[in-house]
Amino acid sequence: MGTRIILFGGAFCFFLISLFCYLKSCEAKATSISIAVAEGWPIAVSDSGEFTHLSSNTRLAIMIGIPLTEKITFVVKPRIVLKQTNFKPQPGLILGTSFKLTDGLGWAVGILYQCFPPYDDKTRHLLSLGTGPVVRLTDSVSYTPSVAGGRFINGSWSLAVVPIEFSFQLF
């Protein structure tokens, strides 16, 4: 089990380094790198349809925006989730697209892969779809609340409400 986590972590780091080198070699001036901080509440949904509200958790991410057109940006967002109740980090990756509606408003859609390492019993994997508005507060700060729904592989359904997410553009 630990070997899989090490392999996944190594592959993930290799992907990030490769992407960073590619962006540097292209000298894509419009490519942006941001740090995102979010607070959200996961909701577990049992097979019988019962909802269980879980404790809030903090999400930290590096967001890489690669413009495809003037109004569409592809986003790669590796992240880590930290629970408020204990320190058991959960790595994840969001691939998404942001659509610019006006100068200060856009809409984002993404797919999330989240790994839950075997801290207690077994490794679990979550695939989820999410969406939400992107509100540009300044040239370098954005506010992006979102909602998401997904399913654990061979498991239950999950929802997430993330009313607080701020992104700070580094370059």
Question: Judging by beta carbons within 10 Å of its beta carbon (0-12, 13-18, 19+), is residue 142 exposed, middle or buried?
Answer: buried
Q: Which two tokens stand for residue 88?
A: 């058991």
pLDDT of residue 15: 60
Domain residue ranges in the chain = 30-169
pLDDT of residue 2: 47
pLDDT digits (tens, 9 = 90+) for 109-158: 999 999 888 877 788 899 999 999 999 999 999 999 999 999 988 788 89
How does residue 12 score in pLDDT terms, banded at 50, 70 and 90?
A: low
**pTM of the prediction?**
0.79
pLDDT digits (tens, 9 = 90+) for 59-117: 999 999 999 888 999 999 999 998 877 778 889 999 999 999 999 999 999 999 998 88
pLDDT of residue 3: 46
pLDDT digits (tens, 9 = 90+) for 28-58: 456 899 999 999 998 988 878 888 888 888 9
Residue 10 has pLDDT above 90, yes or no: no
Residue 1 has pLDDT above 50, yes or no: no
pLDDT digits (tens, 9 = 90+) for 16-25: 555 555 555 5
SS3 of residue 152 by DSSP? strand
The per-residue b/e assignment along 10-25, b for 16 or more CB within 10 angstroms, e otherwise, is eeeeeeeeeeeeeeee
Contact criterion met (CB below 8 Å) for 40 and 160: yes
CATH code for 30-169? Answer: 2.40.160.20
pLDDT of residue 9: 56
pLDDT of residue 22: 56
